[in-house]
Amino acid sequence: MSASPDEGWLDGDSGRLIRPYAVTNGRTSASSELDLMSMVVATGSGDYSSLEPDHTQALGLCLQPTTVAEVAARLRLPAAVTKVLLSDLIECGAVRAEPPQPSSDTPNRVLLERLLNGLQRRL
C-alpha cells in the first residue's frame, strides 16, 4: 500500500509538521481586513492558477458561508495564518468577505455558545 503525499507532513494529534510561516511564505499580516467573525464565501470565479494546497483547502471550506474563525479551526492553523490565506483568495477573486454584522446591546447566546465550544475544542 502506498503512503499518501500528506502522510510525511502530519503527526497524528500534533497536526502539521510545516511551520505556519512556510504556509504564508513568511508573510505575517493579511492584505485584507478580516475579523475572526467575518463571513467568507467562495464566489465560484477567480484565478486559481497560483493557489497552493492550503489555499485550495481553505477555498473548499468556503463553499458555504462560514467565519474566519471556523476556517482556522478546521484547517488547524493559527488565525493570523488563515487570514493571510483568505486574503490571497480574496485578491484572486475566489472568495468574498463580509464584515461581522453589528449586534444589539445583548449578545447572541447561541453565537457565544458556539464560540465557547470552538475554543474548548482548540484547547
Is the pTM higher than 0.75? no
Give the span between the Cα atoms of 63 and 92, in whole angstroms. 16
- Report yes or no on 2 lying in a domain: no
Q: Please say whether the beta carbons of 31 and 55 come within 8 A.
A: no
Give the span between the Cα atoms of 72 and 83, in whole angstroms. 8
Query: With bands split at pLDDT 50, 70 and 90, how would you rate the model's confidence at 62?
Result: very high
Q: Evaluate if residue 70 carries a pLDDT over 90.
A: yes
- Report yes or no on 4 lying in a domain: no
- Report yes or no on 112 lying in a domain: yes
**Which pLDDT does position 10 carry in this prediction?**
46
The structural domain count of the chain equals 1
Q: Which domain holds residue 106?
A: 10-122
- Report yes or no on 69 lying in a domain: yes
- Report yes or no on 5 lying in a domain: no
- Report yes or no on 38 lying in a domain: yes
Buried b (16+ CB within 10 A) or exposed e, 58-77: bbebbeeebbbbbbbbebeb
- Report yes or no on 3 lying in a domain: no
The sign of the dihedral angle between the CA atoms of 108, 111, 117, 123 is: negative
Query: With bands split at pLDDT 50, 70 and 90, how would you rate the model's confidence at 17?
Result: very low
